[in-house]
Structure 1
Amino acid sequence: VLVRSDNNGVVHPLNNGRSRSQATNDVLKRIYLSMARHQVLLNAVYVPSRDNIADALSRG
Structure 2
Amino acid sequence: MLNEPSYNPISNLHTSITMSINHRIQLSPILIVKTFSHEFGDMSILDVRSILRLKHTKTL
After TM superposition, the score normalised by the length of structure 1 is: 0.34
- Structure holding more strand per residue: 1
- Structure holding more helix per residue: 2
Q: Which has the higher contact order (CA 8 A, sep 6+)?
A: 1
